[in-house]
Chain A
Amino acid sequence: MLWVDKYRPRILDKMIVHEEVAQNLKKLVSEQDCPHLLFYGPPGSGKKTLIMALLKEMFGPAAEKVKLEQKAWKIDAGTRTIELELAMLASTHHVELNPSDAGFQDRYIVQEIIKEMAKNRPIDSKGKKGFKVLVLNEVDKLSKEAQHSLRRTMEKYSASCRLILCCSSSSRVTEAVRSRCLNIRVNAPSAEEIVKVLEFIAKKESIQLPPEFAARIAVQSCRSLRRAILSFETCRVQQYPFVMNQAIPPMDWEQYVSEIASDIMKEQSPKRLFQVRGKIYELLVNCIPPEIILKVKLLSELLKKLDAELKHEVCHWAAYYEHRMRLGQKAIFHIEAFIAKFMSIYKEFLIATFG
Chain B
Amino acid sequence: MAEALAEEKILSRYAVEIDGDCMPVTSPSGDRVYAKMQTWKMGVEGLKKTRTEKIKDGLLSDPISDVIRKLDQDTFSKASLNNRESSSHATQLTVPIASEQLWVEKYAPCSFTELLSDEQTNREVLFWLKQWDSCVFGSQFRATTDDVVSALRHHSSAVQHQKTSDRRSFSVKGITPFSSQYGKPLKALDRHSDKVSSFSELWSKKSLVDPPHEQKVLLLCGPPGLGKTTLAHVAAKHCGYQVIEINASDDRSSSTIESKILGVVQMNSVTVDSKPKCLVIDEIDGALGEGKGAVDVILKMVVSDKKNSGEKEGSCQKSLAEKNPSKKGHKFATLLRPVICICNDLYAPALRPLRQIARVHMFAQPTICRVVNRLKYICHKEGFKTNSIALAALVEYTECDIRSCLNTLQFLNKKKETLHMFDIGSQVVGRKDVSRSCVDIWKEVFQKRKPKREKRSANLLGGNEDLEHMYSLISSRGDYELTMDGIHENLLRLPYHDPMMQKTVRCLDMVAVSDLLHQYIMRTQQMSLYVYQPPVTISISRIVARVEKPNIEWPKSLQRARAMFMERKDILKLWQNKISPIILRHLTFQNFAEDFVSFFLHVLAPPTLRPVALHLLSERERDDLAKLVNTMVCYSVTYKNSKVEHLQGPQNHGATSDIPMLSLDPPIHIFVNFKDYQPVYLELSLAMKQVLVHEVEKKRILLKSLDRSLFASRYRKGSNIDSKIAQNIQKVATAGRDSRPFLFKYNEGFTNAVRRPVKIRELLL
Residues in A whose Cβ lies below 8 Å from that of B565: 284-285, 287
Is A66 a contact of B594 with CB atoms below 8 Å? no
Give the Cβ gap from A54 to chain B, nearest Cβ, in Å: 14
Q: With A237-B606, A287-B572 as known contacts, state yes or no: A348 contacts B631, CB within 8 Å.
A: no
- Which of B182-190, B204-212, B672-680, B747-755 forms contacts with chain A? B672-680
Is A231 a contact of B594 with CB atoms below 8 Å? no
Check: A43 CB closer than 8 A to any chain B CB. Answer: yes
- The CA-CA distance from A67 to B676 in the complex, in Å, is 41
Is B512 a contact of A286 with CB atoms below 8 Å? no
- Mark contacts of B567-589 with chain A using CB atoms, 8 A cut-off: 1 yes-contact digit, 0 otherwise: 01100110011000111111011
Chain B, Cβ-Cβ closest to A331: B515
- The CA-CA distance from A284 to B500 in the complex, in Å, is 28
Check: B520 CB closer than 8 A to any chain A CB. Answer: yes
- The CA-CA distance from A48 to B581 in the complex, in Å, is 13
Check: A203 CB closer than 8 A to any chain B CB. Answer: no
- Mark contacts of B493-516 with chain A using CB atoms, 8 A cut-off: 1 yes-contact digit, 0 otherwise: 110101111101100110110011
Residues in B whose Cβ lies below 8 Å from that of A348: 500
- The CA-CA distance from A230 to B586 in the complex, in Å, is 13
- Which of A1-9, A11-19, A22-30, A148-156 forms contacts with chain B? A1-9
Check: B91 CB closer than 8 A to any chain A CB. Answer: no
Chain A, Cβ-Cβ closest to B507: A340
Q: With A328-B515, A328-B519, A344-B505 as known contacts, state yes or no: A289 contacts B602, CB within 8 Å.
A: no
Give the Cβ gap from B583 to chain A, nearest Cβ, in Å: 5
Chain B, Cβ-Cβ closest to A257: B674
Is B677 a contact of A337 with CB atoms below 8 Å? no
Q: With A238-B602, A250-B680 as known contacts, state yes or no: A277 contacts B492, CB within 8 Å.
A: yes
Interface centre among A1, A68, A237, by most chain B C-beta atoms within 10 angstroms, is: A237
Residues in A whose Cβ lies below 8 Å from that of B496: 270
Is A333 a contact of B519 with CB atoms below 8 Å? no
Check: A268 CB closer than 8 A to any chain B CB. Answer: yes
Give the Cβ gap from A144 to chain B, nearest Cβ, in Å: 9
Check: B557 CB closer than 8 A to any chain A CB. Answer: yes
Check: A137 CB closer than 8 A to any chain B CB. Answer: yes
- The CA-CA distance from A281 to B573 in the complex, in Å, is 21
Q: With A2-B631, A251-B598, A270-B492 as known contacts, state yes or no: A287 contacts B500, CB within 8 Å.
A: no
- Mark contacts of A312-335 with chain B using CB atoms, 8 A cut-off: 1 yes-contact digit, 0 otherwise: 000000000100100111101110
Residues in B whose Cβ lies below 8 Å from that of A87: 573, 576-577
Check: B461 CB closer than 8 A to any chain A CB. Answer: no
- The CA-CA distance from A168 to B13 in the complex, in Å, is 106
Is B599 a contact of A230 with CB atoms below 8 Å? yes
Residues in A whose Cβ lies below 8 Å from that of B677: 252, 255-256, 259
Residues in A whose Cβ lies below 8 Å from that of B1: none
Check: B688 CB closer than 8 A to any chain A CB. Answer: no
Which B residues, 435 to 478, have Cβ-Cβ distances below 8 Å to chain A?
Answer: none
- The CA-CA distance from A188 to B584 in the complex, in Å, is 22
Is B594 a contact of A292 with CB atoms below 8 Å? yes
Chain A, Cβ-Cβ closest to B676: A279
Residues in B whose Cβ lies below 8 Å from that of A43: 590-591, 594-595
Residues in A whose Cβ lies below 8 Å from that of B434: none
Is B674 a contact of A252 with CB atoms below 8 Å? yes
- Mark contacts of A334-345 with chain B using CB atoms, 8 A cut-off: 1 yes-contact digit, 0 otherwise: 101100110110
Residues in B whose Cβ lies below 8 Å from that of A336: 488, 508
Check: A178 CB closer than 8 A to any chain B CB. Answer: no
Check: B518 CB closer than 8 A to any chain A CB. Answer: yes
Check: A226 CB closer than 8 A to any chain B CB. Answer: yes
Chain A, Cβ-Cβ closest to B682: A238
Check: A44 CB closer than 8 A to any chain B CB. Answer: yes
Is A230 a contact of B606 with CB atoms below 8 Å? no
Check: A59 CB closer than 8 A to any chain B CB. Answer: no
Residues in B whose Cβ lies below 8 Å from that of A215: none
* B interface SS class: helix
Task: Select which of B511, B600, B606, B630 is within 8 A of A238 by beta carbon.
Answer: B606
Is A333 a contact of B515 with CB atoms below 8 Å? yes
Is B630 a contact of A286 with CB atoms below 8 Å? no
Task: Select which of B520, B584, B598, B634 is within 8 A of A249 by beta carbon.
Answer: B598
Is B511 a contact of A48 with CB atoms below 8 Å? no
Chain B, Cβ-Cβ closest to A288: B593
- The CA-CA distance from A255 to B518 in the complex, in Å, is 34
- Mark contacts of B621-640 with chain A using CB atoms, 8 A cut-off: 1 yes-contact digit, 0 otherwise: 00000000011001100000
Chain B, Cβ-Cβ closest to A351: B500
Check: A347 CB closer than 8 A to any chain B CB. Answer: yes
- The CA-CA distance from A283 to B670 in the complex, in Å, is 11
Is A279 a contact of B674 with CB atoms below 8 Å? yes
Which B residues, 513 to 543, have Cβ-Cβ distances below 8 Å to chain A?
Answer: 515-516, 518-520, 522
Check: B603 CB closer than 8 A to any chain A CB. Answer: yes
Chain B, Cβ-Cβ closest to A98: B588
Residues in A whose Cβ lies below 8 Å from that of B499: 347
Residues in B whose Cβ lies below 8 Å from that of A351: 500
Give the Cβ gap from A283 to chain B, nearest Cβ, in Å: 7
Residues in B whose Cβ lies below 8 Å from that of A327: 516, 519-520
Is A285 a contact of B564 with CB atoms below 8 Å? yes
Is B516 a contact of A324 with CB atoms below 8 Å? yes
Give the Cβ gap from A217 to chain B, nearest Cβ, in Å: 11
Is A253 a contact of B492 with CB atoms below 8 Å? no
Residues in B whose Cβ lies below 8 Å from that of A269: 501
Residues in B whose Cβ lies below 8 Å from that of A292: 594
Task: Select which of A5, A70, A287 is within 8 A of B590 by beta carbon.
Answer: A287
Give the Cβ gap from A168 to chain B, nearest Cβ, in Å: 9
Interface centre among B576, B635, B671, by most chain A C-beta atoms within 10 angstroms, is: B671
Is A283 a contact of B674 with CB atoms below 8 Å? yes
Give the Cβ gap from B80 to chain A, nearest Cβ, in Å: 61
Is B595 a contact of A44 with CB atoms below 8 Å? yes
- The CA-CA distance from A282 to B512 in the complex, in Å, is 20
Q: With A250-B680, A333-B511 as known contacts, state yes or no: A231 contacts B599, CB within 8 Å.
A: yes
Is B500 a contact of A337 with CB atoms below 8 Å? no
* A residues with CB within 8 A of B: 1-2, 4-5, 8, 43-44, 48-49, 52, 64, 66-68, 70, 87, 89, 96, 98, 137-138, 224, 226-227, 230-231, 233-234, 237-239, 249-253, 255-256, 259, 268-271, 273-274, 277-279, 281-289, 292, 321, 324, 327-330, 332-334, 336-337, 340-341, 343-344, 347-348, 351
Known: A49-B586, A329-B522. 5 other contacts (CB 8 A): A231-B599, A252-B681, A253-B594, A336-B488, A347-B500
* B residues with CB within 8 A of A: 488, 491-494, 496, 498-502, 504-505, 508-509, 511-512, 515-516, 518-520, 522, 557-558, 561, 564-565, 568-569, 572-573, 576-577, 581-586, 588-600, 602-603, 606-608, 630-631, 634-635, 670-672, 674-677, 679-681
Please list the 5 inter-chain residue pairs (A to B) with the smallest Cβ-Cβ separation, ordered nearest first. Answer: A287-B593, A252-B672, A230-B599, A344-B501, A274-B492
Can you show 5 pairs from A to B with CB atoms below 8 A apart?
A48-B586, A251-B599, A252-B679, A273-B504, A286-B671
